[in-house]
Amino acid sequence: MQTTKITEKYDILILGGGCSGLQLSNQLIWKIKGGVVLKNYPKILILEARKTYTNDRTWSFWNDGSSGYCEWAANHWRQWSFSSSTDSMHFTHKSHQYEYFCLRGIDFYERSLSLIKDSPNISIKLGVEVNKINKGQDGFLVKTDSGLYSSKQIIDCRYKKPDKVKNATWQIFYGYEITFKSNLFQSASVKLMDDIRHDKSGIYFKYLLPLTDNSMLLQITYIGTKYFTPDHLKEEATLNANQILGRNWQIQRTEKGVLLQSGTYPREPIPGAIQGGSNWGALRPASGYAFSRIEIWSQETASRILKCHTITKWKIIQTTQDFMDRVFLMVLKKSPASIVQTLLNMGKSLHPNVFARFMGDKANLTDLFKVILTSPKKEMVLAALRIAILSCTKEKK
């Protein structure tokens, strides 16, 4: 009979070394370097299925410079704009306090790996696929394609593409990082939502990051209830690049994705484990941004681990902001045209700092109130009432 022996024992296993798994290890390392002293540091291992990391995405986020990731970012801008050619409107936000940062995926992965390399208590194994987890009396037993691991605590940061989703709102995007001759295009601001328009099912916009004098990231984004593959937006992305640059541009890489912004699907949390990442609420329902929320989650999780070695179940709850996001999505489903108006109103009347805090998951109550004022009242009030009633009915059941 074949026996599988336990290869190694750990205090904590982090399953999945993507954005949330690596942000958590970065926070642990930064906190320890920053002077958090413990008698025995917990022995931590990250298990990641990928064999190598590639430049598979760009993380953009708003910040006032206080995040450790601002230093890692390849670009940052103080200006971002909104426009609609249908309504002939164009608004630019300029902030002196917040910037829009752009962090290349590969820089994030490589810098995180180099922090882990210098850390005595945290390690990572690449190319290890977690297959099964059993909970025993003293902790967890994790079966992988390359052996068994045991640990007292598990933090599950694996991302699994949601299946059998009901009532979904999707964000679907397709874009290129392109290079061109430097005199063809220059912009001091990020075109955050350019040419916002709508159809019956949702909204579309262009997203344009001017990376250097001769390169940019250009994406076409859809947010709505229709599901299709990102490749359906490819032709539009090409057409737009041609419109801006003629035919004088070269593709360096393609960036595309499908994000589930809202919807219900069967999930199986591991009893007794901590959950992190986009399967467990990291994606902002209204925007699909997750980087900043994962940063807040990882800071808090790291603090708890260092305080008491192992932690009990907890998750980030941003009740008011999540409620507003749900209202926003309900209006989007009923009336995409109202959402185009709301976004343009945000561009027109919201202070850039309020907008940056709202998007960066750091909005205070006054900020949230100001955001509400930019929305079409009737639709928002009706959607808010519907959500409140639905929540009450759910609770009663």
Ligand X SMILES: Cc1cc2nc3c(=O)[nH]c(=O)nc-3n(C[C@H](O)[C@H](O)[C@H](O)COP(=O)(O)OP(=O)(O)OC[C@H]3O[C@@H](n4cnc5c(N)ncnc54)[C@H](O)[C@@H]3O)c2cc1C
Hey, what are 152's tokens?
């007292």
How far apart are CB 48 and ligand X at their closest, in Å? 5
Q: CA nearest 291: which of 299, 167, 217, 264?
A: 299
CB 98 within 8 A of CB 49: no
Smallest separation, CB 34 to ligand X (Å): 23
Which member of 277, 281, 347, 352 binds ligand X (CB under 6 A)? 277
User: Of all residues in this chain, which one has the CB nearest to ligand X in the complex?
Assistant: 18
Residue 60, interface with ligand X (CB under 6 A)? yes
The reply to whether 210 sits near ligand X by the rule CB under 6 A is no
* 11-19, 66-74, 86-94, 245-253 -> range binding ligand X (CB under 6 A): 11-19
Secondary structure class of 287 (helix, strand, coil): coil
In the numeric block, the tokens 């208590």 are attached to 121
Q: Which of 265, 267, 387, 238 is CA-nearest to residue 324?
A: 387
d(CA 320, CA 323): 5
Q: Tell whether residue 255 is a contact of ligand X (CB under 6 A).
A: yes
State which residue, 47 or 346, has the beta carbon closest to ligand X: 47
Should residue 20 be labelled a site residue for ligand X when binding is judged by CB under 6 A? yes
Angle at 274 between CA 271 and CA 276, to 5 degrees: 125
Q: Any alpha helices (H) in the chain, and if so which ranges? A: 19-33, 105-117, 234-245, 291-308, 319-334, 336-349, 352-359, 365-373, 377-396
C-beta neighbour count of 319 within 10 angstroms: 7
How many residues belong to the site for ligand X (CB under 6 A)? Answer: 29
Interface pick for ligand X out of 32, 42, 48, 281 (rule CB under 6 A): 48
Q: Least Å distance between CB 57 and ligand X?
A: 4
CB of 268: closest distance to ligand X in angstroms?
Answer: 13
Q: What is d(CA 256, CA 56) in angstroms, rounded to the nearest whole number?
A: 9
Using the contact rule CB under 6 A, the part of the chain among 58-66, 114-122, 301-309, 346-354 near ligand X is: 58-66
Quickly count: other Cβ atoms within 10 Å of residue 236's Cβ.
14
* Beta carbons within 10 angstroms of residue 150's beta carbon: 17
Residues 287-326 that bind ligand X (CB under 6 A): 289-291
| Interface mask toward ligand X for 157-196; x: CB under 6 A | xxx-------------------------------------
Stretch that binds ligand X, among 18-26, 89-97, 264-272, 320-328 (CB under 6 A): 18-26
Determine if 61 is a binding residue for ligand X (CB under 6 A): yes
Chain positions contacting ligand X, by CB under 6 A: 15-20, 47-50, 57-61, 129-130, 157-159, 255, 257, 259, 277-278, 282, 289-291
